[in-house]
Structure 1
Amino acid sequence: MQLFYHEKSLDSTFELDQEESRHLIKVLRKTKGDQVQFTDGKGCLVHGAILDADPKRAKIIVEQRLYQPQDDFYIHLAICPTKNLDRMEWMLEKITEIGVHEISFIESKHSERVFLKMDRLEKKMIAACKQSLKFHFPILNGLRPLEEILKESRLDSYQRFIAYLDEDNTRHLYEKAEPNQSYIVLIGPEGDFSKEEVAMAFDYHFLPCSLGRSRLRTETAGVAAVHSLQLKNTLIIP
């Protein structure tokens, strides 16, 4: 199955933008009558056929519409972006494929990057969703100060974790997390969170957690956190 994306309403017939039309008709060489699958990124999966194979404005007719329910759990990764943007794009791609529901970027005391090209990151995320057949696309939030994220009232019902370097912090995220919950995990920059930031997170009832014995790069820690929570909720032990 090859999945395409159409951000507008998937009505009985709809037209694709120029980029998706060109990819469908010119690159993949699809023609009139060929079967295609689309999602709106909000859980809707459409089975349809090409009605007009115009490489600039291809038209699709809907034959079947399905809806995939949301997961019973919710993973929110809040992470400081790396100085090297390629590493952050790599992480975003991988956690999207594994299954993350929301991503926020943190401004912290030791942050190495204070600007992000959100349009570029969104394109990377959408491409990863199509590759991994995701019908619910993650929420992607821009850079915000750490304290602003900590103060969000909606987090009161979440399991809240902060991963940072501490030899006494040995209990793994997988061990601490309970299944079928909403989670937020904070990941600091290469220089880690400051002591003051860690203390502030504790004030907002965030719990310390480990991501393993190795010292991880920021982007690797992000992948490890999302993967651990996915395993907690999807691993079936006989």
Structure 2
Amino acid sequence: MHLFYTPDIEPSHPQYFLSEEESKHAVRVLRLNVGDKVQLIDGRGGLYTAEIKDAHPKRTILQITDVVTGFNKRNHYLHIAIAPTKNIERLEWFLEKATEIGIDEISLIICQRSERKEAKVDRLNKIITSAIKQSLKAYHPILNEPEPLSKLLSRSFDGQKFIAHCEESDKSNLKQDISLNGKYLILIGPEGDFSPKEIEDALHNDFKAITLGQSRLRTETAALEACFEVNFLNRE
């Protein structure tokens, strides 16, 4: 069954009008017609089943036949703050795979050693949207605009906070420290790692240093490894 992302849909409304772009895709590309069934996701946990009532290429009308709220809601909240990679395609790869595995929020942080200090959030959000459709996720991860690491460190977070870095120091791992079914914020630095001052500031703000294994990982690989570990440890 074909799936559409419809963030403006309301559960109480019996009908929904696809946007012109989505209508054209449904009618001209997918060749859908009156009576065909489709699924819709709103990015807020809603999964809808609908039937096409008018297959118009500019304004397709759907009749909602079933609504599931809280579809596949996960038992934890994962927020990864990652420094944008010099090669933006590596960050795009992380966003796609992390969305498929399971993530709730991503912050883009600018660090002292960052080689990339900007990112087109609109384009990155399209990659996330494509990934939730591919993996049938009803929740759309939040992607925050790039900001200095210092701003993120200054904000409160109601959960466990970790920083993964490469400096030689005492570190634990997520399996040892994680409280299951909780909220987690994990910092992943740029290609040149966090600076000693940034690590010190994070620890001062109650972040705990962790290791993600013995290998030296690329930024996007480290972030995905953290994402996988959190989801695996919280698997019911």
Q: Is the structural similarity TM-score above 0.5?
A: yes
Q: Given that residues 164 and 187 in structure 2 are in contact (C-alpha distance below 8 angstroms), is that contact kept between their aligned partners in structure 1? A: yes
Question: Is residue 127 of structure 1 aligned with residue 121 of structure 2?
Answer: no
Q: 171-180 or 190-199: which moved more?
A: 171-180
Question: In the TM superposition, what is the alpha-carbon distance from 1:29 to its structure 2 partner?
Answer: 1.2
Question: In the TM superposition, what is the alpha-carbon distance from 1:167 to its structure 2 partner?
Answer: 4.1
Alignment partner, residue 64 of structure 1: 66
Question: In the TM superposition, what is the alpha-carbon distance from 1:176 to its structure 2 partner?
Answer: 2.1
Question: In the TM superposition, what is the alpha-carbon distance from 1:9 to its structure 2 partner?
Answer: 2.4
Question: Is residue 145 of structure 1 aligned with residue 148 of structure 2?
Answer: yes
SS at match of 1:30: coil
Alignment partner, residue 202 of structure 2: 201
TM-score (structure 2 length as normaliser) = 0.94
Alignment partner, residue 4 of structure 1: 4
Identity %: 44
Counterpart residue identity of residue 92, structure 1: L
Within 1, Cα distance between the matches of 2:124 and 2:176?
31
Counterpart residue identity of residue 115, structure 2: E
User: How is 1:99-138 mapped onto 2 (pairs within 5 angstroms)?
Assistant: 99-138=102-141
Within 1, Cα distance between the matches of 2:119 and 2:112?
17
Question: Is residue 93 of structure 1 aligned with residue 85 of structure 2?
Answer: no
**Cα-to-partner distance string for 1:173-219 (whole Å, 9 max, x where unaligned):** 23321211100000000000000000000000100001111100001
Within 2, Cα distance between the matches of 1:81 and 1:211?
19
User: How is 1:218-237 mapped onto 2 (pairs within 5 angstroms)?
Assistant: 218-234=219-235
Number of equivalent positions? 233
Within 2, Cα distance between the matches of 1:85 and 1:22?
30
Q: 1-10 or 135-144: which moved more?
A: 1-10
TM-score (structure 1 length as normaliser) = 0.94
**Cα-to-partner distance string for 1:146-194 (whole Å, 9 max, x where unaligned):** 11111112x1x31100000034455322332121110000000000000
Within 1, Cα distance between the matches of 2:33 and 2:170?
58
Counterpart residue identity of residue 124, structure 1: I
Within 2, Cα distance between the matches of 1:48 and 1:169?
54
SS at match of 1:89: helix
Within 2, Cα distance between the matches of 1:2 and 1:55?
16
Counterpart residue identity of residue 207, structure 2: F
Within 2, Cα distance between the matches of 1:13 and 1:169?
57
User: How is 1:154-233 mapped onto 2 (pairs within 5 angstroms)?
Assistant: 155=157, 157-169=158-170, 171-233=172-234
Q: Given that residues 45 and 66 in structure 1 are in contact (C-alpha distance below 8 angstroms), is that contact kept between their aligned partners in structure 2? A: yes
**Cα-to-partner distance string for 1:1-51 (whole Å, 9 max, x where unaligned):** 442111212321111112211222222211111001101111111111011
SS at match of 1:205: coil
List gaps (5 residues or longer) in structure 1: none
Q: Given that residues 83 and 190 in structure 2 are in contact (C-alpha distance below 8 angstroms), is that contact kept between their aligned partners in structure 1? A: yes
Alignment partner, residue 25 of structure 2: 23
Counterpart residue identity of residue 227, structure 2: V
SS at match of 2:163: strand
Q: Given that residues 79 and 107 in structure 2 are in contact (C-alpha distance below 8 angstroms), is that contact kept between their aligned partners in structure 1? A: yes
**Cα-to-partner distance string for 1:70-117 (whole Å, 9 max, x where unaligned):** 422100000000011111111100000000000000011011111111
Within 2, Cα distance between the matches of 1:124 and 1:18?
20
Q: 160-169 or 90-99: which moved more?
A: 160-169
Within 1, Cα distance between the matches of 2:116 and 2:183?
28
> Pairwise CA RMSD of aligned residues?
1.4
Q: Given that residues 2 and 130 in structure 1 are in contact (C-alpha distance below 8 angstroms), is that contact kept between their aligned partners in structure 2? A: no
Question: In the TM superposition, what is the alpha-carbon distance from 1:66 to its structure 2 partner?
Answer: 1.3
